Each structure stands twice: as C-alpha cells, then as structure tokens.
Amino acid sequence: MDVYMRAGDSLWYYSQLFRTPLQLIIDSNRNLNPQLIALGERIRIPGYAIQRYQIKVNDSLWSIARQRNLPLDALLLLNPTVNPDYLQIGQTINVPLRVTWRLVNGKQNYDYETMRNDLQRLLTIYPFLQVSSIGNSVLGNELPEVLVGRGDKRVHYNGSFHANEWITTPVIMTFLNDYALSLTNQHTIRGVVTSLLYEQTILSVVPMVNPDGVNLVLHGPPGEEPYQNNVVEWNSGSMDFSGWKANINGVDLNDQFPAEWEREREDNPKTPGPRDYGGERPLSQPESIAMADLTRRRDFARVLAFHTQGEVIFWGFENLEPPENEVLAEEFGRVSGYEPVRTVDSYAGYKDWFIQDWRRPGFTVELGLGTNPLPIAQFDEIYEEALGIFLAALYL
C-alpha cells in the first residue's frame, strides 16, 4: 500500500498509525533516506492492501474508521483529495486493509508462471522482500532469489533442483508467505518470535532451480526445438514426463557439482535423459552455474536443499562436515519427525559441494513419502513437517 508524505509526517508516525514495525517500513523504502524524505514522496507500507469503499447514507470518515478499528488519520492520509465534510452517497474512497491471509495457494500444480505471479503478489504486499534474478535457465526463464531479513547470519533454502520434485517450491513459497505475514502482523510461528529471526538472519531462497524441468513435468514438452524432440526421444518416446528429474538438456542438476563428480559419473548414464546424467563436466548447465555463483557471492553460513521423497535429512559428505552438522540434523529431525542420515553412496550434489568447499553445515532434506511427483494431497502434511525445519535453520 502506498501513501504520500505530508508535512509533519515521518516513517515513525506511519509505523504508529498502521501498527507496523518501523524497521519493516524502512526496509520497504530502501531508496529513501528516512531523515530526508521530501513532501509528496511515495512511501510503501508493508502488510496492507487498499480497498475501495462506496459511501452510504449517514457515513462519515469518522464512522467508517470506527467501524474498521482504524485511526481517522489513516483515512485522511489515503484520501488527500476528499473533503471529509462533504461526502456524497456513492462516492468511493480508499480504505487500508490489513492483510491477514495467505496470498500463496500451494495446493495446486505449481509451475513457473504460478511461482512468478506469487512472487510479484508477495512483493507488492511485503516490499521489504528483495527479489532479483541470479541467472537464467536453458530456455531463458529467470531464476529468482528472494532475500528477507537484515542480520549477519546468511541462511539459504532452495527447491525443485529435480523437476518431478516440484512440490518443494510451493512448500518454500508458503513458508515465505507465512514468514512475511507473521512479521507484519507481529505474531509468532509455533512460538518462534519471527521479528528476532528477521533482525538476526538474512534468508536467501531460490524457490525453483529447474523451471524448464518443472514445466516439462506439469505441461509436457516446450514448443521450442530442438528441445521438444530431444526430451521426447530421451524419454523413450513417451509423453508421460512424471519420472523426469533433469533440466531441459537432460542433465541432472544435482549431479552437476564438483564434489567427487567423477565418482558419481562412474555408475550413472553417460548420455542425456530423464535422470542421473551429470553432464560432460561439472557446472556445465546455466542453472547449476547460477547456483554456484550465488553461493560463492553470498558466502552462506548454512544451506538446505529441499527434495522429495523419503522423510530423511542427509547431513554429511566424506567426513568433511563440521561437528555442528550432526547437532543441527538431530534438531531438524526432532521438529519434523524425519530421520537424520549422515551419508549415502551419492556424490556431486549441491550440499556435497557446499560441505566440501566451505566446511559449513549443508543438508539435503527429502520431504514426504511415496513416488515422485508426490500428490498435491500431501501438501498440508509436508508443509507442517517442513515448517519446523524452516524455523530451526534460522533460529539455531
């Protein structure tokens, strides 16, 4: 919601007027110096939408404000051209509406466009979120990163490395929505004071690492050649892509990282296909390159890659993980009911590379149980299990 600076106003005054944390207002207006705001400057107020209201018989701004538990000045601020002494029946005014509901609907086939639309909606209501592109997929789809928070500890979550594990994306997006909702409404999530998380951490999220693959699983082959013919051929002529994990080039993005890549390649396919082909060399795909570049640039304290399925938390790699990995994994297991597992006979994954090169905590979290892609009917259960992990990774 936008308001425009009047004489005598300040960001602190707006925080009191709309009962919104001052820091969130400051962070929603990063282009402005809070001490030097010009009259008429647009100010973004997070956590609100504008509702249009039509004046009825006996209405006044005062009565409307009282009915909606709003300060009268909130209506005056949003209606600078309205004369409060001469309201006309049928006239429309702006009324601030506090957002207390989710914008993200995760219980649907969640493709790339749905994610992009939801990100724009979140950014409109919660402008303290920062959204930028870290690169592009093979088909040119931007890979968005969302940042939230202002602390020193940098934590990273990602989803949909594997195409048919796309349910990880709406799970992550729902957490982003709930986190922002709790911040603006100043309530806790499972007893966790999220305002403290905001002050102490910066959360980086890449909700969909493999958008081309996700769209392939959900909608079938793209119209572009040679990709259309290639994926059908690599899928043995079948138009059922439910078993597809790779990107649109037939490369498994979670077998793309320089962490014993050669060992992973030994027993895996040597040509493109739906799964397990790690490419001709590490970091050959634009999506994996973008993730590697982001990780180097951000210098994360810990990373969590969300996959499906198995209800397990993989937390080790070649005995290179720090001691705190096990402690964190045990806590993640406690709050989710998932089983912490140190390692499996697998290499070249994102968390493997992070542990190897940074010697910091890295985790692969396998959400849910069943056959990928997991049915959307599992969404609520999966989210409740994952929520404890999302929170614990920030507060520990």
State the catalytic residues: 347, 366
d(CA 41, CA 21): 20
Of the candidates 83, 11, 59, 244, the residue with the CA atom closest to the CA atom of residue 233: 244
Cα separation, 227 vs 139, in Å, equals 9
| 41-74 burial: b if 16+ Cβ within 10 Å, else e | eebbbbbbeeeebebeeebebeebbeeeebeeeb
Determine contact, residues 52/20, Cβ cutoff 8 Å: no
Taking CA 106 as the corner, what is the angle to CA 101 and CA 108, rounded to the nearest 5 degrees?
130
Separation of first and last alpha carbons in the chain = 34
Buried b (16+ CB within 10 A) or exposed e, 94-128: bbbbbbeeebbebeeebbbebbbebbeebbebbbb
Beta carbons within 8 Å of 336's beta carbon, 6+ residues apart? 311, 313, 385, 386, 388, 389
Round to whole Å and give the CA distance between 268 and 343.
18
Closest CA to 254 of 320, 202, 210: 210
